[in-house]
Amino acid sequence: MTLALFLLDVVPDGDEFVLDGAEGRHATTVKRLEIGERVLVGDGRGQVLTCAVRTVRPGVAVLAVLARTRVAAPRPRLVVVQALPKGERAELAVELMTELGVDEIVPWAAERSVVRWSDERGERALTRWRRTAREATKQSRRPWRPDVSALADTAAVAARLRTGTAVGLVLSEQADQALTDHSQDLAAADEVIVVVGPEGGLSPEELALFAAAGAGVVRLGQPVLRTSTAGAAAAAAVSVLTGRWT
């Protein structure tokens, strides 16, 4: 079994430190760490400490640092622009994409999105997405936690697709090209941006705008995927084609 991972905003210096707060409570009351047990502590930005538990009391564990590791960020950087799914499927989408290695998740208010984020509702939803990404990072033992950006509109997505070093791919079940047709472009990219539309699909205006921004309109395969699973499927395919998964 792999070692449990706990996330801190900043990993501490020194040979020993106290794990307290929310992570300390989780370590002692949920994980029930025992003296001598080994764990990982990371900052979600590539720094990971391998530690041994020295002492334990409710809500607090004293950890001794056995090793410090710096893990490079994977390349190319993988971004998924995710049209807002309905209900619990939003958290499912974020969870799956995090587990599969996506580096940035961009919530997108597509024209045909049923869900709308506004004011406090949007702030709460964004907080849930970020919390879900954090927990999925710990579950999957990722050294790098994905960024969950603020809500983007269609114009902002198009502007992002115009980035010179990025390869943009827009998923569409009606596309003539397959994602694999872009293998050479993906291999040379610094960043790959995948756009996932809502359950109702992208509007013709959105497709035209994204194509004009230089994105390729592609399909993953024959099955028609939900918006909550399409991003994860695309992330897996891109990770194989680019060598992110080696």
Could you read off the pLDDT of 198-225 as tens digits, one per residue?
Answer: 998 999 999 999 999 999 999 998 888 8
Q: What b/e sequence results for 132-145 when a residue is b if at least 16 CB atoms lie within 10 Å of its CB, and e otherwise?
A: bbbebbbeeebbbb
Residue 119: per-residue pLDDT: 80
The CATH number of the structural domain formed by 5-70 is 2.40.240.20
Task: State which fold the 77-242 domain adopts.
Answer: Alpha/beta knot (3.40.1280)
In degrees, rounded to 5, the angle at the alpha carbon of residue 244 between the alpha carbons of residues 165 and 193 is: 40
State both tokens at 105. Answer: 């998740």
Residue 174: per-residue pLDDT: 85
Q: From CA 195, how far away is CA 204, in angstroms rounded? A: 14
Alpha-helix residue ranges (DSSP H) falling in the chain = 21-25, 89-99, 119-140, 154-161, 183-188, 204-212, 227-242
Residue 86: per-residue pLDDT: 87
Q: What are the pLDDT digits (tens) for 154-188?
A: 999 999 999 878 999 999 988 889 999 998 889 88
Residue 224: per-residue pLDDT: 83
Residue 163: per-residue pLDDT: 81
> In one letter, which amino acid is 220?
L
Q: Which residues contact 94 (CB under 8 A, 6 or more apart)?
A: 82, 105, 129, 132, 133, 136, 148
Residue 240: per-residue pLDDT: 94
Q: Tell me whether the CATH fold assigned to 5-70 matches the one assigned to 77-242.
A: no
> In one letter, which amino acid is 1?
M
Query: Helix, strand, or coil here: 24?
Result: helix
Domain ranges of the chain: 5-70, 77-242
User: Which parts of the chain sit beneath pLDDT 50?
Assistant: none
State both tokens at 121. Answer: 């509702």
Residue 223: per-residue pLDDT: 83
Residue 118: per-residue pLDDT: 86
Strand ranges across the sheet with 38-42: 5-7, 38-42, 47-57, 60-70, 16-19
Residue (of 14, 12, 172, 174) closest to 83 by Cα position: 172
